[in-house]
Structure 1
Amino acid sequence: MDPGYSSEPYPVETVPLQDRRHEVSPGQPGDPTGVQYTVVNVPTEPPTDYLVWSLCNFVYGNIFCLGLVALIYSVRARDRKVVGDQDGARRHASTARALNITATVLISLLVFLCIVVPLALIAETARYHYRHYSYN
């Protein structure tokens, strides 16, 4: 046997795999730094019930009774909000909003057509009469 030969083929070195400043893993009991958890309750703001918009659509343009239905859903949303049912209030408010948008668009189109179409007809009639009677 060779006296310079060891039983292991390579020399053994001790190399730390991690920085061992703390003997305990972070977050474990006994950790000097300790981990604290804080629960924060963020209050969500209550959903809008669109009651004023529904009232305007009901009073000024209740086309296809959309204003009435929107008003009903707005009142339901307000009732759900008072009771504390935020999800129910959001659902009813979302329906009221969709109905209000539809009613507002239809009313705007109706007003636009009631103003623009007669003005266009009057202008065309005036142009026709001007051309027809100006040569005589």
Structure 2
Amino acid sequence: MNHTSQAFVNAATGGQPPNYERIKEEYEVSELGAPHGSASVRTTVINMPREVSVPDHVVWSLFNTLFMNFCCLGFIAYAYSVKSRDRKMVGDMTGAQAYASTAKCLNISSLVLSILMVIITIVTVVIIALNAPRLQT
């Protein structure tokens, strides 16, 4: 605060600190009192569109990329998830939904195919293990 504004404050209050209680009471009286004019009170309602939450499936895609990356579907899903997040940050919700839908389909495909590969591998190992004694004779 510079000297000019400080001098103005001191001159306006007579060198005394302002009386905050008095100001508060005056405000309450004017707040609770009747309207001063005969004008009617008008209200305005503004409907704000709610933010549409678009899931981008980044975590699911990252999981599929790291653990169940069948034919690189998890990595491709991760790329689409990042594109979806970028579109969402820009404000293009339609583009974000399109990329998110593609990422979701790729994640489902990667998950199903990876689980099928695990099941097929387990069944193959069990069949080979059970038939191994027969093959040696």
CA contact (8 A) 1:77 1:89 kept: yes
What SS does the aligned partner of 2:53 have? coil
What SS does the aligned partner of 1:43 have? coil
User: Deviations for 1:43-73, whole angstroms, at most 9, x for unmatched residues?
Assistant: 1531100001111111113222211111110
Output the TM-score relative to the length of structure 2.
0.59
User: Deviations for 1:5-38, whole angstroms, at most 9, x for unmatched residues?
Assistant: xxxxxxxxxxxxxxxxxxxxxxxxxxxxxxxxx8
Matched positions, count: 93
Q: Which residue pairs with 1:74 in the alignment?
A: 81
Match of 1:56 among 49, 52, 63: 63
RMSD after superposition: 2.3
Larger radius of gyration: 1
Unaligned stretches of 5+ in structure 1? Answer: 1-37
Output the TM-score relative to the length of structure 1.
0.60
Q: Which residue pairs with 2:130 in the alignment?
A: 123
Question: Distance between the aligned counterparts of 2:58 and 2:101, measured in 1?
Answer: 12
- Per-residue deviation at 1:116? 1.6
Matched residue type, 1:114: T
Once superposed, which parts of structure 1, at least 4 consecutive aligned residues long, lie more than 3 Å away? 38-42
